[in-house]
Amino acid sequence: MEGMRTERDALGQVAVPAMAHWGAQTQRSLLHFPFAERERMPADIVRALAMVKLAAVRINRAALPAGIAGAIEQAAAEIVAGDHADQFPLAIWQTGSGTQTNMNVNEVIASRANELLTGQRGGKSPVHPNDHVNLHQSSNDSFPTALHIAVALAATGRLLPAVDAMIAQIESLADDWRAIVKIGRTHLQDATPLTLGQEFSAFAAQLGQCHEELSTALERGILQLAQGGTAVGTGLNAPPGFAQAMAAELSAITGLTLRPADNAFAALAGQEPLVRFAGATVTLACALTKLANDIRLLASGPRCGLGELRLPANEPGSSIMPGKVNPTQCEMLTMVAAQAIGNHQAVVSGGMQGHLQLGVFKPLIGAAVLRSIDLLATGIDSFTRYALHGLEPDRARIAALLDQSLMLVTALVPELGYDQAAAIARLADDEGLTLREAALRQGVDQATFDRLVRPDTMV
């Protein structure tokens, strides 16, 4: 067939595009899993698999024929650097162990190595995708190792720094606003006062807990690797010490502190580390939703809502109502949070799949977790830049609402008792009086009222 070449695998011959680096197994996967291009395996996973191959060839150099190791190392390093991206066309939706993508990477590295050595793409000589590139490895340990590396790099490189920057900005606002006394609200009803700074300090503390949970999930699970367990966890066909050597080499390549899994059988059979990390992204999504919804509520109006905060005017809010400013960043962030929570449901379903010595659904799990990381990191960065920066308090509105609150009556309770204080609040509400007017009518002298009802001392 014109423009094609013939490749062979254990099932026979397959026609492959002449200029493709991939081989027979990749081509069969393209045939049998014909999903749209948007469903491709994430590039982060492919790159992490190339890191596994790069580490393996460095460790396996003495066991490889002369000249082959250098070519494999160069080919793998090129993929790690982002080259040959068009050579990884396979879908997420394939075998649950990720075997097709592991072989896609093996075939492309072998083809590129052969090109470096002979000038010809493809084939299995002198570099063989299984015997040389995949030496001492299995898809069953290499693919979950790649997932852990991809997630750890994305989390430490993007998500955790985004959370850090958001916390820093919120803490700065909390410090700037520490003296702005405002009315508190519980159940969306007036409550006792606090400062705007105290209100924002809660957001920073909530996000700090999320950061800690994400970091713990990384340290106690994601940074442990399945590599070295080979097919079922026994390490068959891998030399002694291979798991430790791979963890050390991958640590050097990635800059992460990686180590072999405490139990290689569990690392292949179970998927709890990724499920746990996905759960931590859900905790973060919950905190972000609370933050965005509270800011949206406090900024509602600006004249007919609470109107205590002023949002940055990033873009026109309506195609028909001139001058409208909408809480677009709040809506974006809450939608991102909803999608992350949805991704977690897929991860939970995937985490339950697989039988006996191998957990499957690994491509779904890895892709879903990486998507959540990307969405959350981007959403957090955007919200910090375009909502938290430029957010301003409306001090006059805050003071006016504070002055109207009936819950300042709580300050009278220690001297008057709960029942008399409640009677004052009811009287003020029923007859449209100020709290001071109602208290005076109930026999409280003005000096006592002024001494006790001081919002700045109630925070």
Q: Which of 318, 349, 355, 405 is catalytic?
A: 318
294-306 pLDDT, tens digit per residue, is: 999 999 998 999 9
60 belongs to an annotated ligand binding site: no
Assess whether 187 carries a catalytic annotation: yes
138 is an annotated ligand-binding site residue: yes
Judge whether 128 is annotated as a binding position.
yes
Contact between 268 and 359 under an 8 Å Cβ cutoff? The reply is: yes
- Residue of 104, 116, 49, 115 whose CA lies nearest to 76: 49
Q: Phi, psi at residue 15, to the nearest 5°?
A: -85, 130
What is the per-residue pLDDT across 12-49, written as a single tens digit (0 to 9) for each? 999 999 999 999 999 999 999 999 999 999 999 999 99
Told to judge if 29 belongs to the known catalytic residues of this protein, a careful annotator would answer no
7/29 Cα distance (integer angstroms): 14
Q: Which residue has the tokens 């931590």?
A: 280
Residue 97, annotated ligand binder? yes
Dihedrals φ, ψ of 19, to 5°?
-90, 0
Q: Write a three-state SS string for the chain.
A: CCCEEEEEECCEEEEEECCCCCCHHHHHHHHHCCCCHHHECCHHHHHHHHHHHHHHHHHHHHHCCCCHHHHHHHHHHHHHCCCCHHHCCCECCCCCCCHHHHHHHHHHHHHHHHHHHHCCCCCCCCCCHHHHHCCCCCHHHHHHHHHHHHHHHHHHHHHHHHHHHHHHHHHHHHHHCCCCEEEEEECCEEEEEEEHHHHHHHHHHHHHHHHHHHHHHHHHHHCEECCCCCCCCCCCCCCCCHHHHHHHHHHHHHCCCCEECCCHHHHHHCCHHHHHHHHHHHHHHHHHHHHHHHHHHHCCCCCCCCCCEECCCCCCCCCCCCCCCCCHHHHHHHHHHHHHHHHHHHHHHHHCCCECCECCCHHHHHHHHHHHHHHHHHHHHHHHHHHHCCCEECHHHHHHHHHHCCHHHHHHHHHHCHHHHHHHHHHHHHHCCCHHHHHHHCCCCHHHHHHHCCHHHCC
Find out whether 325 is annotated in a ligand binding site.
yes
State yes or no: 300 annotated in a binding site. no
Is beta strand 224-225 parallel, antiparallel or unpaired with respect to 259-260?
parallel
State the pTM of this model: 0.94
pLDDT tens for residues 320-362?
999 899 999 999 999 999 999 999 999 999 999 999 999 999 9
Residue among 187, 211, 300, 389 flagged as catalytic = 187
Q: So what's the pLDDT on residue 27?
A: 94
pLDDT band at 317 (very low <50, low <70, confident <90, very high): confident
129, 21 contact by CB (below 8 A):
no
pLDDT digits (tens, 9 = 90+) for 391-415: 999 999 999 999 999 999 999 999 9
Q: How many CB atoms neighbour CB 116 within 10 A?
A: 16
Per-residue pLDDT band at 1 (split at 50, 70, 90): low
Q: What is the mean pLDDT of the chain?
A: 96
pLDDT in tens, 225-265: 999 999 999 999 999 999 999 999 999 999 999 999 999 99
Task: Report the distance separating Cα 230 and Cα 264, nearest Å.
Answer: 9
* Band of pLDDT at residue 381, cut at 50, 70 and 90: very high
List pLDDT tens digits, range 214-230: 999 999 999 999 999 99
Each residue's pLDDT tens digit, 169-226: 999 999 999 999 999 999 999 999 999 999 999 999 999 999 999 999 999 999 999 9
Residue 98 assigned to a binding site: yes
pLDDT of residue 90: 97
Residue 102 known to bind ligand: no
What's the whole-number mean pLDDT along residues 134-155? 98
125 belongs to an annotated ligand binding site: no
Percentage of the chain surpassing pLDDT 70?
100
Q: Is 289 annotated as a binding residue?
A: no
Q: Which domains does the chain have, with CATH numbers?
A: 4-135 (1.10.275.10), 158-227+253-396 (1.20.200.10), 406-457 (1.10.40.30)
Distance CA 273, CA 368 (A): 14
Q: Is 186 known as a binding-site position?
A: yes
